[in-house]
Amino acid sequence: METITLRKAKVTNAILARAVAQLQEMPALGGRSGSVGSDARAKGDAIRLAVLVALITGDSVEMTDAVLPLMTGKSNEYHLGWSRTRTFEKLLGRTFTVTMFVSVENETKMTITGKTATSKGHGRVFVTLN
């Protein structure tokens, strides 16, 4: 485990509107993402929206709430966030880092500091533009 600090994105209405507009221009999720109007499809779009906000702001965006309902089997939040984020890297032409905090030592409105892990434990997941 490593202790790191991430700067959290300040999401304004203008940034959110820009991200939603970009999301609407993206190709629709495929059939493996659940049927149109399903909860799984909505969570997939929420993850794509978090990735787009990270792209626009250059800061970290939490996507824990979008990832948690997708958990089944042995995958943890990190692996779900990582796998869903990778699907958009080629489409967006950018790379992202997914970070999972298994414990939070300090959190403010603008930053979060804590211990991170990938394959062990559960926690809060953030996506950051590389």
Q: Average the pLDDT over 39-58 and give the result.
A: 85
Q: Is 41 helix (H, G, I), strand (E, B) or coil?
A: helix
pLDDT in tens, 9-33: 999 999 999 999 988 887 776 655 5
Binned at pLDDT 50, 70 and 90, residue 120 comes out as: confident
Show the tokens assigned to 13: 């209405």
Q: What is the dihedral of CA 118, 122, 126, 127, to 10 degrees?
A: 40
Above 80 in pLDDT, residue 7? yes
Q: Crossing angle of helices 39-57/13-25, nearest 10°?
A: 120
Cα torsion angle, 90, 73, 4, 47, sign: positive
